[in-house]
Each structure stands twice: as structure tokens, then as C-alpha cells.
Amino acid sequence: MEKSIRSYNFVPPNLSYNNVEDLTRELRAEKSILVTPYDLSGIDMLNEKQKQAFKVITERIYSRKSGAFFIDGLGGTGKTFLYRNLLVDVRSKGFLALATATSRIAASILLGGRIAHSRFKIPIDISKSTICRISKQTSLATMIREAKLIIWDEAPMSKKTAIEALDDLLKDLMDSTQIFGGKIVVLGGDFRQTLPVVRKGAKSQVINAYLINSLIWDKLEKLNLSENMRARLDPAFIEFLLKIGDGTIDTEANDLVKIPPSILVPYTNESDALQKLIQMVYPEITNGSQISSSFLNRAILTTKNPFVDEINNALIDRYPGEAVEYLSYEETLNENHQAKYIDLLNTLTPSGLPPHRLVLKPNASIILLRNLDPTEGLCNGTRLTIKFLSKNIIHATISFGDFSGKDVFIHRIPMQPPADDQYPVSYKRIQFPVRLCFAMIINKAQGQTLDFVGIYLKEPVFSHGQLYVALSRAKIASVVRILIKPAYFSPH
């Protein structure tokens, strides 16, 4: 005689497939975000422009109407503060709200923030596919459908096709032809800052990649924040930044911008001048003093990865403690090429990969180069502080964001260069997915406010928004120092 499985009491009668799905890590992580009375108090601190935007968006949320918005504003006008209060308000009522950003640094500032490409499974190479890898039957799809609010900060940094991929995903998940599937989506950013990178693209291709050239742009409701909170601290500096960002500043020959002498590092020769800049930004390291946590809020910004490596190598040599050297293992995808190319591959440091020779010290600051475990704070761009170095493990703590202070353990993983990098042979590098981050490229710093900013211009900035982003990481001019190599900036 046949019996039902229920008669054996193996499975609780009230446990359904959906209940099991609800227990997934990502959904648990979102539902476990706590809202404190202190968090809620921020709503009363919104200025008039922020209140207007807050009211428009929340009324749309709770009336169950659709809404696609773009929050526009200079750095310092409180875009992040507005996002945080929108998230707090929705979550305090028991609803889901998803916080994302184009960069890891911008995402880390938002409670529960994730990189948008990671959250929505947007293809890394958006030129080859615009289909987000999310099935309708997954718990991630359920979470996105349930979300009352989706925020995407620093949206202008993303290619329009990435935003359009989210639009297609939401239309599919919600079975709706409305923009973003009828959900409330808030994009935001500042078009004065760095815009999408189109590798080896012509100027027309770069311009075409901008969000404002998407069919979505005209469908977005624009909300502008104009009250600059930082202007009270240093009005002259903010005015200078605004002129650079708007392209209205007076220029000299070859479109060169004149930098105020008060923030320039005197140039004698390249080596001495760089040491002066390092000493200004990191006096504790160069003076042999005890390292405090304040150095985490300082950085030297520059234009290219080779210059980043130059500064990081100079600093780690002077950093206190015993150095540990880690050499990577290069493996060609075609085993017949291994012996022929191994020496060459050891000399290469492609974008997004750690160097072959990685030198680290305890208490040094490093940045993660891969998404290892986003639900536990280990995302591409996460900054870490080294606690202990062993042969096969880096023991570190997360430096910023929701997971600040959390102990983590990093191991070696295989990594491949970007597909569009031109190398004589395809290969993978097995190494710890980290780099030192005393210095970083300007684009990586977007979204972060620093206590002291050094800017190293060995060569001129080469893309829209770079100088503006570098300077605007600081609130006042007195905590900015710029080193310019004169030979590259001669007007003749």
C-alpha cells in the first residue's frame, strides 16, 4: 500500500520550497539589517532640497506607484545622506531596500551596500552580453521582486548598457513593460566626475556609452541637490572645484589648469619631490612613529597603475615591520606555451591583477581585487588591514563599511587578465587577490572622502573628471597636496 512522505514526519508540514529559498544567505543578510533610533533621527536632519526629494520618492513607494529617479548633485550636496535616509525609512517599516553603487567604495558607505554588477549579476563584459544571470525561480529574483526600493549610486560611472541591463532584468522579473518593471529605482551621481571607461574606444564610442545617451535617460525624473554642505568649510576651494567640474575655469596653453601654489609640492627632482609628497601624506610612516588608524583615511591618488606601484613599493620599504614576499605562479592555458613564456609572464601586471612579486607587512593597508564573499563584506575594492601573514593565508580585518573590524582570511586564487588585454598568450596567475593601497588610481577613489589627499601627476590626467575627482576627495584645500612633474606640463 502506497503512503505519502508526510506520514513519516520527515519534513515539517509547513515547510515549503519558498520557505527554504527564504533561508538563503543573501536574503537573510538583507533582512537582518537593523535600523536604530539613531539611524531614524537622520530624517529630521535633511535640508530643504533633500526633504523635497525624500518626500517625492517615499510617497511613490508607499502609494505603490512606479518611479524612476536620478539624483543629481555636486560632491558635498548630501546625495549619500539622502540615500541612507531613504533606506532607513523603508527598512524601518519592515520592507526590503537594496543599496548598490558602481564602485565598492561608494557601496561601502551605504548600509547593506553592494556593487551593482555583483548584486544584479550584470555581465562584466557588457559588450558581449546584456543579460543578467538571474533566473526567475531563484531566491535572488524573489528578493529583487520584494524590494520596495533599489538605489544605484555613482550611476554615471557605469556604461548605459549596464543600466539598461537592469531595466531588462526588472521588466522580466516583474512581467511588466514599464521602466524598471514598475519598481522604484533611484539612480544618482555627478556627471562632473569620472564617466565610463571604454577600453581602446574612440571618442564617439566613449560618449555613446554615457547614461545621458540612453533611451532610459529621458524617462528618469530628475531631482537636484544644490546646497553644498562643504562650502561652509572652504568656499573658495569649493568654487575652484566647481569651475573645474563645469569646465569653466580659465586655462592656459594646451588647456592646462593653473593649480594654486599653496597646494603644490615644490619640485626639485622626481625622487626628492615624491619623497616630500609621501612624507606630507604619511608622516607617521616616514618618521618612524607608531602607526595610528588615521592613516587609513589618507591616500595618494594618481593616474596609472605603474605610478601606483611606484608609490606603494616606496612606502612598503619604509613601513615598519618584517616584510613577507609572495611570488605568484603563472600557468598558460595552453600547456605547450608554459616553458616559453613563463619569464615574460612574471614581468606583467595586468589591470585588476596582483603583481607577480607581492611584498606585504603586518598592519599595512591592502585592497581586495576580487569578489570572494560579498555577503560577508569581501568584495572587489574592499580595503583591509593586515593582521598576520603566513605562507598560505593573509589574516586581515575589514577597514571600512558595515563589516569594519571583521576578521577575514585570504588565500591564493587563480585569476586571468581582462579578455580585451592583448598578450601573446592566454594565462592565469595564482596569487593572493590583493594589492597595497597606500596609493590608488583616481577612479578607484571616487565616492570616498579623505582626511588628507596627495595627488601625484607624473603625467597629465587623461580622461573627463579625473582632476575634479582627485581634488574633491578632500573637504578643504589645506589637506590637499599635488606633485606635478613640470616636463609633462610645459605649455610649449
* Residue 402, domain member (yes or no): no
Q: Which three cell numbers stand for residue 56?
A: 517625492
Are both 287 and 194 inside the same structural domain? no
Relative to beta strand 357-360, strand 324-327 is antiparallel
Boundary (domain end) residue, out of 227, 260, 291: 227
Boundary (domain end) residue, out of 159, 193, 227: 227
Are both 184 and 285 inside the same structural domain? no
Boundary (domain end) residue, out of 227, 252, 278: 227
| Rounded distance between C-alpha atoms, residue 402 and residue 395, angstroms | 19
Are both 174 and 275 inside the same structural domain? no
Beta strands in 349-406 (DSSP E): 357-360, 365-368, 383-389, 394-398
Single pTM value for the model = 0.86
Are both 282 and 206 inside the same structural domain? no
Cβ–Cβ contacts within 10 Å for residue 1, how many?
Answer: 2
Q: How many CA atoms lie within 13 A of 55 on its CB side?
A: 8
End-to-end CA distance of the chain: 97
Asked if residue 407 lies in contact with residue 391, where contact means CB atoms within 8 angstroms, the answer is no
* Residue 17, domain member (yes or no): yes
Are both 139 and 65 inside the same structural domain? yes
Question: Would the CA dihedral through 216, 161, 74, 92 be positive or negative?
Answer: positive
DSSP 468-480: HHHHTTSSSGGGE
Are both 144 and 285 inside the same structural domain? no
Number of residues that this document lists for the chain: 492
Q: Which helix (H) or strand (E) holds 72?
A: strand 67-73
∠ CA 89-90-93, rounded to 5°? 90
pLDDT digits (tens, 9 = 90+) for 315-324: 999 999 999 9
Are both 144 and 204 inside the same structural domain? yes
* Residue 106, domain member (yes or no): yes
Are both 241 and 222 inside the same structural domain? no
Long-range (24+ apart) CB contacts under 8 A made by 345-353 are: 345/425, 345/427, 345/429, 348/417, 348/423, 349/305, 349/309, 350/417, 350/418, 350/421, 350/423, 351/305, 351/417, 351/418, 351/421, 352/415, 352/417, 352/418, 353/415, 353/417, 353/429, 353/431
Nearest alpha-carbon partner for 125 in 67, 189, 197:
197
Mapped onto helix, strand or coil, the DSSP state of residue 330 is strand
* Residue 258, domain member (yes or no): yes
Instruction: State how many domains the chain has.
Output: 2
Query: What is the longest distance spanned by two Cα atoms in the chain?
Result: 97
Are both 336 and 308 inside the same structural domain? yes
Give the domain CATH number at 439. 3.40.50.300
Q: At what angle do helices 270-281 and 305-318 cross, to 10 degrees?
A: 70
Asked if residue 314 lies in contact with residue 274, where contact means CB atoms within 8 angstroms, the answer is yes
* Residue 50, domain member (yes or no): yes
Long-range (24+ apart) CB contacts under 8 A made by 354-357 are: 354/328, 354/415, 354/429, 354/431, 354/432, 354/433, 354/434, 354/435, 355/309, 355/328, 355/431, 355/435, 356/327, 356/328, 356/330, 356/429, 356/431, 357/325, 357/326, 357/327, 357/328
Q: Which three cell numbers stand for residue 47?
A: 535640508
Asked if residue 182 lies in contact with residue 132, where contact means CB atoms within 8 angstroms, the answer is no
pLDDT digits (tens, 9 = 90+) for 394-442: 999 999 888 889 999 999 999 998 776 678 888 999 999 999 999 999 9
Relative to beta strand 184-189, strand 67-73 is parallel
Phi and psi of 288, rounded to 5°?
75, 15
Residue 60: what pLDDT? 97
* Residue 459, domain member (yes or no): yes
Residue 19: what pLDDT? 43
Are both 223 and 240 inside the same structural domain? no
Residue 314: what pLDDT? 93
Nearest alpha-carbon partner for 102 in 173, 196, 209:
196
* Residue 14, domain member (yes or no): yes
Q: Which three cell numbers stand for residue 420?
A: 580585451
| Rounded distance between C-alpha atoms, residue 344 and residue 339, angstroms | 10
Cβ–Cβ contacts within 10 Å for residue 168, how many?
Answer: 15
Residue 2: what pLDDT? 58
Residue 437: what pLDDT? 93
Give the torsion through C-alpha atoms of 366, 370, 372, 377, to 10 deg. 60
Residues in the chain predicted with pLDDT less than 50, given as ranges, are 5, 10-23, 492
Q: Which three cell numbers stand for residue 166?
A: 537592469
* Residue 79, domain member (yes or no): yes
Task: Give per-residue burial for 105-144: e unless 16+ CB within 10 Å, then b.
Answer: bbbbbbbbbbbbbbbbebbeebeeebebebeeeebbbbbb
Are both 270 and 212 inside the same structural domain? no
Are both 253 and 212 inside the same structural domain? no
Nearest alpha-carbon partner for 384 in 394, 392, 396:
396
> Residue 441 belongs to what domain range?
236-322+331-351+411-423+434-489
Q: Which three cell numbers stand for residue 287?
A: 618618521
Cβ–Cβ contacts within 10 Å for residue 12, how many?
Answer: 9
Q: What is the CA radius of gyration of the chain?
A: 24
